[in-house]
């Protein structure tokens, strides 16, 4: 099976040159599948993997817009509709200057498997643009979002493809895009998730990814008869996922001590309490400022700027028991993984998508720590998007308690299926194999049922 997988990866690299993140995401999944492909030759005969790796559709388009000074800009828009075997395409939109085809294909690929784990009927997609919202006025962001939707609207729909947020796309951007979609289509439908509460949004959707990553960590700890109470936690990022990770960690009695952004990280030995988190939310969501302001505001805390000459991130070289990477891909390399282990971290729950390099993942698995890969640990966000879609279809809205209880139940069930599957296929405690195998089987079997699609 080694040869089969090596040959497959060779084809992926030859056919998709200059897409290193996509290669990495595919490699991680196929590395888990040898035993499944051995036991089920039909997946090889039917070329299921070769089909899953090829997006059903890739849409790339021009997004021209004008800034407040009247200058013209041309950005590139994307939507990768990866797989619709188990439901309509579903996945977020990322606005960040680093966005390219490789990044969005890796994210769309991950999304297919993640969505399969949620228990809800959703296919996988991802989209976005190399537009940088930083430093732009609200009017500029609105003009960009409207220009973006002027093309995207013809490719999406509540039963076709339902976008949501990701890096650089939050409530403000979803609002602008939804408004333009509605205007173009003359239809009020649940075409996007993460909507405002008065116009079709679901309670708990903003909180869901962070809450879910913490619930997943709790479930992993339960297998060792432990919980989060009193544990010190490292959190990276300071956006949507990081903020609600910190909130839930506090409410479960853990002590989050770090947050970061692209300029550096803050360390607060006393813990980022509820009150301090309120400051971060205002800083990041309203004023859109830098995380260093935290250290100016709260005495005794330290800001460490990013040092591009280092081969590791000092955030991960801090004493703790838990880590919640919640910023971006490949933010933990093998050196960082070694540092985490050296500092006593034995619970890693990934809020971000693919935040750990393949070598870093190997370190965690070799050490036998509780390692929850992103496609399982951060699935609470898209799961709650699925709950938003369900409420929109029924034209009702559930209470906070109802949605939170459903989210909790889904995270518990994702943990259970990963745990059970890892055990069944001979690698107990390996959530990477558990997540990859369980989700692959679900999607592969749906594709087999549907003929040559």
Helix, strand, coil % over all residues of the chain, rounded to 5:
50, 15, 35
What residue 23 binds from ligand 2IT, ligand NDP, none (CB within 5 to 8 A, per partner kind)?
Answer: none
- Per annotation, catalytic residue among 90, 105, 114, 126: 126
Question: Of residues 85, 86, 104, 164, which one binds ligand 2IT by CB under 6 A?
Answer: 164
Contact region with ligand 2IT (CB under 6 A), list: 87-95, 145-153, 231-239, 411-419: 87-95
Of residues 109-138, those binding ligand 2IT (CB under 6 A):
111, 114
Number of residues that bind ligand 2IT (CB under 6 A): 12
> Order of strands across the sheet with 124-129?
57-66, 72-83, 124-129, 89-95, 161-164
8 Å CB contact between 404 and 204? yes
Residue 90 or 255 with smaller CB distance to ligand 2IT = 90
What is the C-alpha to C-alpha distance for residues 186 and 200, in angstroms, rounded to an integer?
Answer: 16
Cα Rg for the chain, rounded, in angstroms?
A: 21
What is the C-alpha to C-alpha distance for residues 322 and 302, in angstroms, rounded to an integer?
Answer: 20
Residue with tokens 């933990």: 332
What is the C-alpha to C-alpha distance for residues 420 and 261, in angstroms, rounded to an integer?
Answer: 36
What tokens appear for 102 in the block? 């490789």
Interface with ligand NDP includes 163 (CB under 6 A)?
Answer: no
Interface with ligand 2IT includes 373 (CB under 6 A)?
Answer: no
Question: Of residues 55, 77, 92, 175, which one binds ligand 2IT by CB under 6 A?
Answer: 92
Interface with ligand 2IT includes 161 (CB under 6 A)?
Answer: no
Residue nearest to ligand NDP (CB): 239
Question: Of residues 48, 323, 352, 417, which one binds ligand NDP by CB under 6 A?
Answer: 352
Contact region with ligand NDP (CB under 6 A), list: 48-56, 237-245, 294-302, 360-368: 237-245
CA atoms within 13 A on the CB side of 316: 29
Please state the closest distance from residue 433 (CB atom) to ligand NDP, in A: 21
Is 126 considered catalytic here?
yes
What residue 91 binds from ligand 2IT, ligand NDP, none (CB within 5 to 8 A, per partner kind)?
Answer: ligand 2IT
Residue 245 or 250 with smaller CB distance to ligand NDP = 245
Interface with ligand NDP includes 165 (CB under 6 A)?
Answer: yes
DSSP labels, 361-391: HHHHHHHT-EEE-HHHHTHHHHHHHHHHHHH
Nearest partner of 384 among 151, 242, 201, 236, judged by Cα = 201
Residue 141's H or E segment, with its range, is helix 138-152
Catalytic residues: 126
The binding site for ligand NDP (CB under 6 A) comprises 96, 98, 165-168, 170, 209, 237-242, 261-262, 326-328, 351-353, 378, 381
The binding site for ligand 2IT (CB under 6 A) comprises 90-92, 111, 114, 164, 166, 193, 353, 381-382, 385
């Amino acid at each position: 099976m080694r040869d089969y997988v090596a040959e497959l990866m060779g084809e992926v690299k030859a056919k998709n040159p200059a897409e290193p993140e996509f290669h990495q995401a595919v490699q991680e999944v196929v590395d888990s599948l040898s035993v499944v492909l051995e036991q089920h030759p039909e997946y090889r005969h039917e070329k299921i993997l070769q089909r899953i790796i090829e997006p059903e559709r890739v849409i790339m388009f021009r997004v021209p817009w004008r800034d407040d000074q009247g200058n013209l800009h041309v950005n590139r828009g994307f939507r990768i509709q990866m797989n619709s075997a188990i439901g309509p395409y579903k996945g977020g939109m990322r606005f960040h200057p680093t966005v390219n085809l490789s990044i969005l294909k890796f994210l769309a690929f991950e999304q297919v498997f993640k969505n399969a784990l949620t228990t809800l009927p959703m296919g996988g997609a991802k989209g976005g643009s190399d537009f940088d919202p930083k430093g732009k006025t609200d009017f500029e962001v609105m003009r960009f979002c409207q220009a973006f939707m002027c093309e995207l609207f013809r490719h999406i729909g509540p039963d076709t493809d339902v976008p949501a947020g990701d890096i650089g796309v939050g409530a403000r951007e979803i609002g602008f895009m939804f408004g333009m979609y509605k205007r173009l289509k003359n239809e009020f439908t649940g075409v996007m998730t993460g909507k405002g509460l008065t116009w079709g949004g679901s309670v708990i959707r903003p909180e869901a990814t962070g809450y879910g990553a913490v619930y997943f960590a709790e479930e992993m700890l339960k297998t060792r008869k432990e919980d989060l109470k009193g544990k010190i936690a490292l959190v990276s990022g300071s956006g949507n996922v990081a903020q609600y990770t910190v909130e839930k960690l506090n409410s479960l009695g853990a002590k989050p001590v770090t947050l970061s952004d692209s300029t550096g990280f803050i360390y607060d030995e006393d813990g980022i309490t509820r009150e301090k988190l309120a400051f971060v939310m205002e800083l990041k969501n309203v004023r859109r400022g830098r995380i260093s302001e935290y250290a100016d505001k709260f005495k005794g805390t330290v800001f460490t700027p990013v040092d591009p000459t280092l081969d590791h991130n000092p955030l991960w070289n801090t004493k703790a028991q838990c880590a919640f990477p919640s910023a971006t891909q490949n933010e933990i390399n093998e050196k960082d993984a070694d540092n985490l282990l050296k500092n006593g971290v034995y619970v890693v729950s990934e809020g971000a998508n693919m935040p750990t390099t393949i070598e870093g993942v190997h370190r965690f698995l070799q050490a036998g720590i509780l390692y929850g890969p992103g496609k399982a640990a951060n699935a609470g966000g898209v799961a709650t998007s699925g709950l938003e879609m369900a409420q929109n279809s029924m034209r009702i809205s559930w209470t906070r308690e109802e949605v939170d209880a459903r989210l909790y139940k889904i995270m518990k069930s994702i943990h259970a299926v990963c745990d059970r599957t890892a055990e069944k296929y001979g690698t107990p405690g390996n959530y990477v194999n558990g997540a990859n195998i369980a989700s692959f089987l679900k999607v592969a079997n749906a594709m087999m049922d549907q003929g040559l699609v």
